[in-house]
């Protein structure tokens, strides 16, 4: 089974995806980390961020690998061509560089192919921007997770402070979130949008535990009764509440 979790930056996708994977005993795949790793390698190689051919070449030929930290059930360590970039891909420089890199069709083509190969190997929670629309249009469960810009900026600042990486300046983080939303939603290739059959969950005022519980419920229902899952989708979607 594939559980696709899409949504804008800072909506809580990573936290939710990892918790759902743990709860259901699924593997997890953070596709944003793959785009970030390619952006890191491009900066490292001094590649022009608008040189589509060169970026595509990196995405095709530099192997990206996810590894487990000792004692952790889900992978969090990210490597590209053997370089450990786990922390390096979370800086503001990469937040900025990753937008043009992820808008490049040759990069998307190469990474989507790898994502499909990984996901088809078993039960996966896959998070990103185009998972339910492009990468796994037949995913059994599709969630579009969102929250207000301000709430997402607050969460990102808290997360950066905890990790000790990235900016903790609220205004700077908010401006970057808005810039990336605009970029991700307006790019020509695979723009950020909910799949037609996705459940929309707005987590602005919804505790993260509730988001996680709803997705797990949906996945379990899908396994035991696909028709019941369709009915459930309608009742838990935030859009219906408004
Ligand atoms: O989820 P994230 O912030 O780590 O993603 C980093 C960037 O990669 C973000 O600007 C959008 C892009 N991205 C994408 O275009 N498609 C995906 N499936 C995942 C991320």
Q: How far apart are the CA of 31 and the centre of ligand 1, in A? A: 7
**Which range, of 27-31, 32-36, 223-227, averages the lowest pLDDT?**
223-227
Q: Which domain holds residue 84?
A: 2-241
The predicted pLDDT at position 239 comes to 57
Q: How many domains does the chain have?
A: 1
Q: For residues 47 and 54, is the Cβ–Cβ distance under 8 A?
A: yes
Query: CB-based burial of residue 188 (10 Å sphere; 0-12 exposed, 13-18 middle, 19+ buried)?
Result: exposed
Which of 37, 126, 128 gets mutated to test ligand 1 (max ligand atoms within 8 A of its CB)?
Answer: 128
Question: What atom of ligand 1 comes closest to residue 180's alpha carbon?
Answer: 10
Residues near ligand 1 (Cβ within 6 A): 9, 31-32, 35-36, 98-99, 102, 128-130, 180, 184
pLDDT digits (tens, 9 = 90+) for 179-238: 888 888 888 888 889 999 999 999 999 999 999 999 999 999 998 887 788 888 888 887
The predicted pLDDT at position 241 comes to 43
Per-residue pLDDT at 118 exceeds 90: yes
Q: How far apart are the CA of 228 and the centre of ligand 1, in A? A: 32
Is the torsion defined by CA of 150, 232, 239, 99 positive or negative? positive
Query: The CATH number of the domain where 49 resides is what?
Result: 3.40.50.300
CA distances 88 to 28, 41, 140, 171, 189, Å, are: 21, 10, 33, 22, 26
The predicted pLDDT at position 53 comes to 98
């Amino acid at each position: 089974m594939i559980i696709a979790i899409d949504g804008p930056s800072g909506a809580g996708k990573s936290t939710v995806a990892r918790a759902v994977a743990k709860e259901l005993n699924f593997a997890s795949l953070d596709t944003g980390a793959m785009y970030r790793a390619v952006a890191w390698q491009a900066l490292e190689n001094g590649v022009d961020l608008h040189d589509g051919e060169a970026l595509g070449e990196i995405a095709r030929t530099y192997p990206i690998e996810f590894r487990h930290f000792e004692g952790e059930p889900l992978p969090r360590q990210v490597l590209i061509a053997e370089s450990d970039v786990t922390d390096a891909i979370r800086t503001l420089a990469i937040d900025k560089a990753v937008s043009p890199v992820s808008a490049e069709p040759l990069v998307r083509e190469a990474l989507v192919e790898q994502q499909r190969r990984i996901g088809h190997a078993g039960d996966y929670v896959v998070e990103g921007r185009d998972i339910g629309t492009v990468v796994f249009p037949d995913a059994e469960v599709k969630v579009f997770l969102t929250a207000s810009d301000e709430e997402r900026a607050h969460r990102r600042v808290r997360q950066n402070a905890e990790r000790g990486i990235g900016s903790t300046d609220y205004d700077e983080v908010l401006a970057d979130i808005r810039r990336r939303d605009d970029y991700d939603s307006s790019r020509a290739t695979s723009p950020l949008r909910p799949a037609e059959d996705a459940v929309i969950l707005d987590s602005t005022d919804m505790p993260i535990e509730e988001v996680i519980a709803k997705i797990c419920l949906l996945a379990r229902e899908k396994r035991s009764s696909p028709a019941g899952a369709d009915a459930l989708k309608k009742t838990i979607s935030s859009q219906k509440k408004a």
